[in-house]
Amino acid sequence: MSSHDTPVKWGDWIKELDDPAKARTKQEALAHISVLDCSYANMAGCFATSIFAELGAEVIRIEPPEGDPARSFSPFGYMHMDTGLGYLNEGRNKYHVTLNLKSAEGRKTFSVLAGKADILVETGMPGAMDEMGIGYRQLRELNPGLIYCAIYTYGQFGPKAGCGKADVDLVNQVYSGITSVSGERPDDPDHPTPSEVPTKQGNWMGWYAGGAWTAVAAMAALHYRTKSGKGQFIDISPAEAFGRCINYGLTYYQGFQDVIPRVGNYDVGVFPYTYFKCKDGFAFLSGFSDINWKALCTILGRPDLRDQYPTIFDRLNLDNMKQMYKEIEKWTMAHTYDEIYDAVMDYNKNVGQGVVVPGKISDPMDTMKAENWWVRQSFEKICDPHYKEMVITNHAWKMTETPPRVKWACRPVGADNDYIYNRKLGWGKVQIQAMKDQGVI
């Protein structure tokens, strides 16, 4: 570019480089990796292998003959072509076979597949696969490079590992410690109202945290294997994974031998940093540091609030928060969200002494209509071979060289029973009998 050329704006330049629409023309980071997904009634395992599949790994789900109960997870029991809405998201890019691991023949076939896989993900009770002779202890003898990921609420060892409880999302949430601080602050702790009880996350965050941490650990293990040639066992507790997101809660307890109280939409670390009612819904406002608090008070036309609560310690007092909240909401309730946004952004751009961050509470319909997400292909219309045209929630990364992609939503149970993996033939329509005839099994 010559000195006389007009520089290309950053947004235009980087979009051209990592345009999601070009994903299918580029390489896939994990195209050389094969994965066995043996998760059962568990979205942590499904989410982990969705990440592998989006990045190009060839993932095959091993389901029992009757299919995985995770296929039925759906709001109000609504099913699309006999598949729950949750599984339409997490069955993406995967092949599906039914295999009876309770039978000797099923375990033998499974051992052959695992002997040639790079990654295996399972969510059974600790030691259950080992007792059947197809756990890590046995499979590493067949496949020293295997990365074996076992997901369970309490982990594979420890006092609770053998308790016999199934791994379920809500237990992962509550055992992490995060649920204790979720919900409205009780004004009368001895007689809380229904809205003041501990509150679970609105989606399966325990499971999703466990799945995300599994994928991160497995990719680190893949990197280690390229240098050492060695696979390894990865023990993932979704409760621990979600607990890793607890921020400063445990550190606070260690330092003060006390727990952070449940404070609803307040935040004991930063305030104001919450939602306020406005004319047409709710608006988020953030202005918690001293200079940003001054900016917010200027926008509100309330220098008296800045003088009354001048330091961050004043603003982090819970009783003060209540009073500040009421005063700020007097202003927001007199305006629509767009008016609030315009006032804040006008200050940020033209005055610039501190920054206030606005945000709007979006319901799913608002989110689906947001142009920004469609341009970035956060949502994408696909024509699935089985489920036909549908909108999917896309991957979370934009990558310039090896971008992820969704090729199909999922498959009906047993639809890929002829798809079996081996190093000689790859994934493909290969009958088990043909594999036996060729001496692969």
The tens-digit pLDDT sequence of the chain (441 residues) is: 445 567 899 999 999 998 888 888 999 999 999 999 999 999 999 999 999 999 999 999 999 999 999 999 999 999 988 899 999 989 999 998 899 999 999 999 999 999 999 999 999 999 999 999 999 999 999 999 999 999 999 999 999 999 999 999 999 999 998 888 888 876 777 777 766 788 888 889 999 999 999 999 999 999 999 999 999 999 999 999 999 988 888 888 889 999 888 888 899 999 999 999 999 999 999 999 999 999 999 999 999 999 999 999 999 999 999 999 999 999 999 999 999 999 999 999 999 899 999 999 888 888 999 999 999 999 988 888 888 898 988 888 999 999 999 998 887 766 666 554 443 334 444 444 444 454 444
Bridge partners of residue 98, in order along the sequence: 63
Q: Do domains 11-245+375-437 and 273-361 have the same CATH topology?
A: no
The CA–CA distances, whole Å, from 371 to 158, 285, 336 equal 49, 22, 21
How confident is the model at residue 74, as a pLDDT? Answer: 92
The b/e string for 125-141 (b: 16+ C-beta within 10 A; e otherwise) is bbbebbebebbbeebbe
Pick the CATH number of 273-361 from 3.40.50.12780, 3.40.718.10, 3.30.300.10, 3.30.1540.10: 3.30.1540.10
Residue 35 neighbours by CB under 8 Å, 6+ apart:
49, 52, 53, 57, 58, 59, 60, 117, 118, 119, 120, 121
DSSP 137-192: HHHHHH-TT-EEEEE-TT-SSSTTTTS-----HHHHHHHHT-GGG-SPPPSSTTS-
In this prediction the pTM is 0.89
Q: For the chain, which residues make up each domain, given as ranges?
A: 11-245+375-437, 273-361
> Regarding the domain delimited by 11-245+375-437, which CATH topology (the fold level of the hierarchy) does it fall under?
Rossmann fold (3.40.50)
Parallel, antiparallel, or unpaired for β 119-122 and 147-151? Answer: parallel
**157 φ/ψ angles, rounded to the nearest 5 degrees:** -145, 165
Q: Distance (Å, rounded) from C-alpha 77 to C-alpha 202?
A: 17
301 near 349, Cβ under 8 Å?
no
